[in-house]
């Protein structure tokens, strides 16, 4: 572990273009349930039952009850040490942060140059497709006054402004994520590397010649593809890496 940490720290210290991809594991220490861990969200619900446009079309109230519960949980959570380190790194020239998370904890930690691939649980758009409601608006009320909430523009049904399974990512977010793979160091943190197109980004970074690394509690399908796979908690490993990367290189 030490040698791998030192190798990654050395690369981080020298990187002119650093890209960090995060998943639910970065928010776990803040109390936000992951999708596939022991207490994972998907254990209680099947993704196809809830995180799809078909599910929402069938029963908007049921899907909103799931999201309203997640919003209530997330509202009580604060950024953890992993978010704080990533926010500090995000201020470096050439650093970009691409997250799959919809909890906005990176935003609350002050992260710059952030691409939120799957949107935000704190934003809504119009499900009924009115023009004014196609751009997400922020609604942080907990609890929401009624489920499903209404579109303020047309009075129709509002939906969470997140990307569901089977839905395309918004072009600007997809473009930002793909452009971020043109980097010197690509660091995936706290993701099971199962959901695409996010899971494909590490391979695109490798194709650009990037040094790739993964920090995760467990093996993932990306572990064999990266140059360095470090098994540990993001909230422990990232502060340690940050200290190592600041040290002058050993003679």
Cβ distance 124 to 136 under 8 Å?
A: yes
Report the side by side order of strands in the sheet with 158-162.
137-138, 119-126, 158-162
Q: What are phi and psi of 166, to 5 degrees?
A: 90, -5
Binding flag, residue 25, ligand BV8 (CB under 6 A): yes
Asked if 42 and 139 count as a contact pair (C-beta separation under 8 A), the reply is no
The alpha carbon torsion through 163, 166, 172, 175 (nearest 10 deg) reads 130
Catalytic residue among 118, 153, 203, 231: 118
Provide the CB-side half-sphere exposure for 133 (13 A, CA): 21
**Residue 118, SS3?**
coil
Q: Is 198 in the site for ligand BV8 (CB under 6 A)?
A: yes
Q: Looking at 8, 158, 234, 241, which residue binds ligand BV8 (CB under 6 A)? A: 234
Minimal distance in Å, beta carbon 188 to ligand BV8? Answer: 9
Task: CB nearer to ligand BV8: give 16 or 140.
Answer: 140
Q: Is residue 191 a contact residue for ligand BV8 (CB under 6 A)? A: yes
Near ligand BV8 by CB under 6 A, which window of 1-9, 13-21, 203-211, 231-239?
A: 231-239
The Cα–Cα gap between 119 and 106 comes to 12
Among 18, 20, 24, 185, binds ligand BV8 (CB under 6 A): 24
Q: CA 232 to CA 216: how far, in whole Å? A: 6
Among 30, 100, 181, 212, binds ligand BV8 (CB under 6 A): 100
Binding mask 205-224 for ligand BV8 (x = CB under 6 A): -----------xxx-x----
Q: Does 133 bind ligand BV8 (CB under 6 A)?
A: no
Q: Rounded distance, CA 130 to CA 151, Å? A: 9
Query: Widest CA span of the chain, in angstroms?
Result: 66
Give whichever of 123 and 235 is closer to ligand BV8, judged by the CB atom. Answer: 235
Nearer to ligand BV8 (CB atom), residue 183 or residue 215: 215
So which residues are the catalytic ones? Answer: 118
Using CB under 6 A as the criterion, which residues of the chain lie in contact with ligand BV8 when the complex forms?
Answer: 23-25, 28-29, 34-37, 40, 51, 100, 102, 118, 162-168, 190-192, 194-198, 216-218, 220, 233-235
């Amino acid at each position: 572990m030490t040698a791998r940490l030192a190798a990654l720290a050395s690369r981080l210290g020298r990187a002119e273009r650093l890209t960090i991809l995060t998943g639910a594991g970065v928010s776990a220490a803040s109390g936000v349930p992951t999708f596939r861990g022991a207490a994972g969200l998907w254990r209680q619900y099947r993704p196809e039952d809830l995180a799809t446009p078909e599910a929402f079309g069938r029963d908007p109230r049921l899907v909103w009850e799931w999201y309203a519960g997640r919003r209530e949980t997330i509202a009580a959570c604060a950024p953890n040490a992993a978010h704080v380190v990533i926010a500090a790194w995000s201020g470096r020239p050439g650093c970009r942060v691409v997250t799959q998370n919809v909890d906005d904890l990176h935003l609350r930690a002050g992260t710059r140059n952030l691409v939120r691939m799957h949107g935000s649980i704190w934003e809504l758009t119009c499900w009924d497709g009115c023009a004014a409601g196609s751009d997400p608006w922020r609604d942080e009320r907990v609890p929401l006054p009624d489920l499903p909430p209404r579109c303020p523009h047309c009075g129709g049904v509002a939906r969470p402004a997140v990307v569901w399974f089977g839905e395309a990512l918004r072009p600007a977010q997809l473009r930002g994520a793909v452009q971020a793979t043109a980097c010197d160091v690509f660091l995936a943190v706290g993701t099971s590397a199962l959901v695409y197109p996010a899971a494909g980004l590490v391979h695109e970074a490798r194709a650009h010649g990037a040094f790739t690394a993964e920090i995760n509690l467990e093996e993932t399908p990306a572990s064999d593809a990266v140059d360095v796979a470090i098994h540990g908690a993001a909230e422990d490993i990232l502060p340690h890496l940050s200290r190592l990367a600041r040290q002058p290189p050993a003679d």
